[in-house]
A and B are shown apart, each in its own frame.
Chain A
């Protein structure tokens, strides 16, 4: 009897999905349990009450579910009715995409030709660099030479004296780096009384005077 009911319900379903199948399996199991209890010899009326309780519980559960199923149908109806009242679409909205650019006119051949054109074009100066700080007219090596030559004559000089004739800040920086390099090499001695005071530059190693400064 129960199996019959189960099968007739199953047949009614067009495409049974797993959830519905599970639901019916559960309900059928409960029915079988109740039925088997009823077949067993009745001991006490208490069991009958329990049986009725189970029955009532199951009925109310099924009623509750049926209520929500009805509500679900109504929600489906609302969604369906509102389906065509489009708003300005957001990207990734429920299945709706904004209009995409149509690029049907480009053929593979024209793409290849475009690429060929790019490759074969003579390479020209690609970068506009006028906005970049102009390179110093003097390199650090040249600065080193100048400083050495100067110090050969005066032995010691201040940084200010060495750089006073320079025309740009970049060149002053270059001279400063040159002095640091010479200090690192042990060719110069540097002296500064206090922070931000002028730097006294002294040439060491008089014997060095005859050697080349560039390595």
Chain B
């Protein structure tokens, strides 16, 4: 049984070597220690790193932990990483992404029905980016492909899991917007 300091150093070593978030359960399996012990070591390490003003910190993301740049220095780091050009995601694609995030697993047809327009191009765009993926096939008629978000999606948003997203009800338009919409669609408006 390693002492806690050894364990923390081991975790540090795994963190520096990994581009993807490191999951405590996997570490527990790897070195055959109880997950609770590993989780404790992780927590202590996170506190150690995140309390001091360093160039990087340990982020809790996509169900695991990962060294990430302190965003304060991000702009300069971006210049350092040659060819850094953030992909611009259009409003239409973001809309599709939001629908998939909250309604997954969902088919292209269902997405298009919500948006009122064909969504194939936005779906392809998001697939290419790796933010969404095919999850399963709809068992019902038509065997539509069902889409959902990926781990990369969680990483890019800095979330630990999908349930970390605010409830959809928080985004319902306020009363003012609702009445605006109602007014516009009123068929009995006098000319």
Contact = CB atoms under 8 A, between A and B. Distances in A.
A98 B67 CA distance: 16
A120 interface: no
Nearest to B92: A19
Q: Give the interface SS of chain A, mostly helix, strand, loop or mixed.
A: helix
Contacts of B97: 72, 75
A99 B82 contact: yes
Given A87-B66, A96-B81, A68 B114 contact: yes
B172 interface: yes
B189 interface: yes
Given A55-B185, A95-B86, A97-B82, A79 B114 contact: no
12 contacts: A17-B91, A22-B116, A62-B185, A63-B173, A65-B116, A69-B98, A71-B102, A71-B171, A72-B94, A75-B97, A79-B89, A96-B83
B67 A94 contact: no
B156 A82 contact: yes
A108 B126 CA distance: 42
A76 to B, nearest CB: 5
Contacts, number: 163
A35 B184 CA distance: 11
Interface string B92-115: 101101110110000000000011
A97 B117 CA distance: 34
B159 interface: yes
Contact of B116 (A17, A61, A76): A61
Given A27-B116, A66-B173, A75-B101, A55 B187 contact: yes
B81 A86 contact: yes
